[in-house]
Structure 1
Amino acid sequence: MPRRFESTLMQMLPGDPEHGAHRRQVLGAVWSHAPPSPVASPRMLAWSTDMASTLGLSADDMRSDAMLAALSGNALLTGMAPHAANYGGHQFGHWAGQLGDGRAISLGELVNQDGERWELQLKGAGLTPYSRTADGRAVLRSSIREFLCSEAMHHLGVPTTRALSLVATGEQVVRDMFYDGHPEAEPGAIVCRVAPSFLRFGSFELPASRGDIDLLRLLADVCILRDFPELLAHPGASFGQLRQDGVFDENLYATWFSQVCERTAAMVAHWMRVGFVHGVMNTDNMSILGLTIDYGPYGWIDDYDPDWTPNTTDAQGRRYRFGWQPRVAHWNLSRLAQALSPLFASVEPLQAGLDAYVAAYDRAERGNIVNKLGLADYREDDAELMQALQGLLHEGEVDMTLWFRGLADLDVRSPGLEAVDAAFYDEAKRRACGEALAGWMQRYAARLRDDPLPARERRARMDAANPKYVLRNYLAQQAIDRAHEGDISGVTELMEVMRRPYDEQPGREAFAARRPDWAKDRAGCSMLSCSS
């Protein structure tokens, strides 16, 4: 069993001198000591074979008592140094001050057989100094959702944090799911999530808000050294020597910020491609690496609706609705730019980074159009073609995933709606917009007849961009319901399906069906709270 653990942040960045989980403002520090709280009766429910393999962990490793103890917070493996990160953030557009890891505890960085560095973090492992009035625990339903979605997104090709394991704690956790005054005891669980780094925009916002520019600069330097080493051209030099030589200068910071902007653009463009809605795009939930992070009240678009959000907390303002995700990401990057501004003599390099986001997102969106529609290349009027389609999908209450997957079956010589029959939720709305959709099909078929891409290549391109299987909210809820009854097989089966989202998978067609009527307004299948 690999046991080489390191902890770069703890070694290179200042920590909180106080110990204990009591609530406090932590000044001048990036992390606090945070030992996990032991649980009564841990049980391994599931693990990701793909993530385990990447970490160099075998099935025997994952079944071992030592690994169960480590992944439940009951013991530490050699080299683990548990801590919680200190950061702030803008929540729903407003500065919230210090936030930090309230129910996430990092165990350290496992260095695998290829020299890759992966930080392991237990979510739901107990109190930290940043738990505020909460208990630091997580319930089974939210843990299943994060476990499944982390791996599903990876296999969809979306930049994301990963998940290693799902452990039941054997304890009950009290939650008021919809904040309506009706708390209930639910089974507790812990997810081990994995990423090269869990630094986020809010990590930089907090020292900047406090005027701690020395800490801000040090954090930026360590982040570049650890997480963006390709930006450095000084192999073998120590961190101290690099800083002494002035390598970390304004030009490097500008290049780094542009990288963050471009990675963020790529991530959000993938969200839009597959119909994913994050649900709570606060700056403390934005990864500095451009990874999808903190799976809470997320959801997948069923019927295409740019105004839909899965988050009950956002039901009125809909700040984080599907169609606004690209502009919210830009706003969040603007907050990061503001935080980093003390490292620059002028705003021009930061504005250049924000401009790089816009350009990168536009490129990625053009790529989405080309790939989702199966085109050889992009033409200027293709954007209007896609926009016209999206308007009709919204008007006709059409399933986004099923429409685009079915579109590959279109008969270009005799285009009709037969290929997308399964995508309609409401027959009356289908009839109302049927003529307009048929007209769009004629226009699309004409575009294809004028396109040089051979039919077989077109089909392959579309099938690689338009998944057949996504983690629809009702599918996750069905697996949660079964798990609450003691049957974890729904989770493992769903995980297996989501490992190959672009393949046909004969016999598993039920996992590709449109949302059933019973799930349209059911809790867990439509709207979720931040405790979900």
Structure 2
Amino acid sequence: MRALRFDNRFVRELPADPEAENHVRPVHGACYSRVMPTPVRAPRLLAWSREVAHILGLEEADVRSAEFARVFGGNGLLPGMEPYAACYGGHQFGNWAGQLGDGRAITLGESINARGERWELQLKGAGPTPYSRFADGRAVLRSSLREFLCSEAMHHLGVPTTRALSLVGTGETVVRDMLYDGNPRPEPGAVVCRVAPSFIRFGNFEIFASRGEEALLERLIDFTIARDFPELAAEPDAAARRIRWFDEVCRRTAVLVAHWMRVGFVHGVMNTDNMSILGLTIDYGPYGWVDDFDPDWTPNTTDAGGRRYRFGNQPFIAHWNLWQLANAIYPVVREVEPLERALAAYADVHDSSYRDMMRAKLGLAEWRGGEEGDDGLLERLHRLLAAGEVDMSLFFRRLADVDPAAPTLEPLAEAFYDPTRRAAVEAELLAWLRAHGARVLGDGRLAAARRAEMNRVNPLYVPRNYLAQQAIDAAEGGDMSELEALLEVLRRPYDEQPGRERFAARRPDWARDRPGCSMLSCSS
């Protein structure tokens, strides 16, 4: 396998845990602990992303080599790798949880590609670390496959995200209680290699603020700006530089969540330790995709009671999480008003980004706000989609096929789940289509241009929960062909792909309440 070039600034420039032994403990005064992946019995490559391999400068022969499976399964290192687990804390479900850290993620190093880009390579499921608490540091094939698949699918959807290079089976089993119902069972184990410019998250800063370690907090902020936000590093005034950085984090997060809402993605566990400082989708745990439109839906069984992380609440939770980051960095900024302005900018950027995305989804040339304008038009549509149990992805995709001069429900027929609920909203929905058609015709755009724009933002193929579960079922039986076929379809989510219609179908009835297809737990 060809050599990767490493420049590990995180471990070179930030303080390490002085204790070398790998046992669970509080870690103070350090940004990370050095730790080696725990070897597995029989590492075997199950899937890989050719796009990510290309970014890193790897060719197919490299990826299919025995050495690749050995390294990215956790059984060896390449020259230049310096593995570690990061120390961070976080607010979980609205409550401060104290020290968390990389409990089963181990960063191998920061690879520099031929274009000079920095990519952090991180194994998830590679064994215990000092932050594993009561866990074993391992991951099952079920969750690892879901993370690998969705990381790449989100990229092709145009949503900011971490990436995934590979999925390696371990040849071992891991015992997990999938639904936390007292029925644990052994499942196949796997390791996914996650790839991103940085895996620093809000919680990396919160932990030092919570402990009053202001010097270390200041050092981490300045390191993050210098490495990951170089466009801001030239600002000579430290306080101004840090404020500009926080403002940029707020803006990136706003755009990210608007994209989630555009495609119907629900993160499921938006704790502050799962929020990327780069505005990337990170930590694919009990995520889900909205099938029938429901703003109150959450894919996370742990969140089923309070529904804190439900689909429609995601913009507000991101704002709340940014407030916690602002509180964390205040001790080294010491100015309230600039932080409040950045938080207000989050709301403005999110609203403007979301409206622009909705404008494109609806095929409008411009957004005319107000209750009597497009805000009201969208609000009425959302109410009808929820009342009629209408598939979100299929409705918006097929809306481009509706004739605005003579609208009917026929192009939208495949988007309805229940004939009775369709009948209940049919008259109102037809009235909505007429109002929408009048808006579209009033723009005066060519129909072909309008439809092309709509199809660029309304995906036909998304990694629906039941599709991922079918790939998992096949993979657990040793058949990776379903994952390979699904991944290939998701490389072109906005293109009609003849012969692959089954991947665009609405959720089948058998998947409505099946675990993995409807809701999931954090167990992985």
- Which category describes the TM-score, using the shorter chain as reference length? over 0.9
CA–CA distance in 2 between the matches of 1:40 and 1:6? Answer: 30
Large movers: runs of 4+ above 2 Å: none
Cα distance, 1:346 vs. partner? 2.1
**Cα distance in 1 for residues equivalent to 2:87 and 2:446:** 53
Distance in 1, matches of 2:126 and 2:19, equals 20
- Give the corresponding residue for 2:212: 211
1:67 CA drift (Å): 1.6
Q: Work out whether 1:16 is the aligned partner of 2:8.
A: no
Code of the aligned partner of 2:501: E
Contact 1:109–1:120 (Cα < 8 Å) also in 2 = yes
The answer to whether the 8 A contact 2:72-2:193 is kept is yes
1:369 positional shift: 1.6
SS in 1 for 2:443: coil
Match of 2:200 in 1: 199
Give 3-state SS (helix, strand or coil) of 1:27's partner. coil
- Residue 248 of structure 1 and its aligned partner are, at CA, apart by 5.3
Query: Would the aligned equivalents of 1:2 and 1:112 in 2 still touch at CA under 8 Å?
Result: no
- 1:288 partnered with 2:277: yes
Q: Which residue of 1 aligns with 2:336?
A: 347
Match of 2:519 in 1: 527
Amino acid at match of 2:363: G
Q: Match of 1:468, as an amino acid?
A: L
Whole-angstrom CA distance in 1 between matches of 2:21 and 2:293: 48
Matched, 1:315 2:304: yes
Mapped to 2, the partners of 1:37 and 1:469 lie a distance apart of 37
TM-score by length of 2: 0.98
Could you list the per-position Cα deviations for residues 193-229 of structure 1 after superposition, in whole angstroms to 9, with x for gaps in the alignment?
0000000000000000000000000000000000000
Q: 2:418 aligns with which of 426, 429, 433?
A: 426
Q: Quick one: which amino acid aligns to residue 88 of structure 1? A: G
SS in 1 for 2:120: strand
Q: Is 1:491 aligned to residue 492 of structure 2?
A: no
The answer on 1:40 being equivalent to 2:41 is yes
What percent identity do the matched residue pairs reach?
63
User: Match for residue 400 of structure 2?
Assistant: 408
Tell me the SS of whatever aligns to 2:192.
strand
2:174 aligns with 173
1:309–1:472 Cα change, 3 Å:
same
Q: SS at the partner of 2:173? A: strand
The counterpart of 1:376, out of the listed 361, 365, 378, is 365
Aligned length, in residue pairs: 520
Partner secondary structure for residue 354 of structure 1: helix
Q: Deviations over 1:251-285 (max 9, x none)?
A: 11111000000000010000000000000000000
Q: Which SS does the other structure have where 1:66 is aligned? A: helix
Q: How does 1:383-532 map to 2 (within 5 A)?
A: 383-532=375-524
| SS in structure 2 of the partner of residue 450 of structure 1 | helix
Q: CA deviation at 1:130?
A: 0.3
Gaps of 5+ in 1: 235-246
Q: Whole-Å Cα distance in 2 between the matches of residues 372 and 285 of structure 1?
A: 28
User: Structure 2 counterpart of 1:70, which letter?
Assistant: V
Decide whether the 8 Å contact of 1:369 with 1:383 is kept in 2: no
State the partner residue of 2:52: 51
Q: Which runs of 5+ in 2 are unaligned?
A: none
CA distance in 2, matches of 1:422, 1:3: 48
Question: Can you list the C-alpha shifts for 1:342-367, whole angstroms capped at 9, x where unaligned?
Answer: 12232001001101101110110111
1:369, 1:382 within 8 Å by CA — same for their partners in 2? Answer: no
CA contact (8 A) 1:2 1:56 kept: no
The Cα of 1:304 is off from its aligned counterpart by: 0.2
- Once the two structures are overlaid, the 10-residue window that deviates more, 2-11 or 505-514, is 2-11
Deviation at 1:375, TM superposition (A): 1.1
In 2, the alpha carbon distance for the partners of 1:467 and 1:195 equals 24
1:276 maps to 2:265: yes
The equivalent residue for 1:148 is: 149
Equivalent runs, 1:217-232 vs 2, <5 Å: 217-232=218-233
Contact persistence 2:3–2:78 (CA under 8 A):
no
**Counterparts of 1:21 and 1:274, CA distance in 2:** 41
Matches of 1:118 and 1:7, distance apart in 2:
10
Shift of 1:3: 2.1
Worse-superposed segment, 257-266 or 19-28: 19-28
2:247 maps to what in 1?
A: 258
Q: CA deviation at 1:305?
A: 0.1
Map Cα deviations across residues 218-250 of structure 1 (whole Å, 9 max, x no partner): 00000000000011238xxxxxxxxxxxx3511
Q: Distance in 2 between matches of 1:16 and 1:512?
A: 49
SS in structure 2 opposite 1:25?
coil
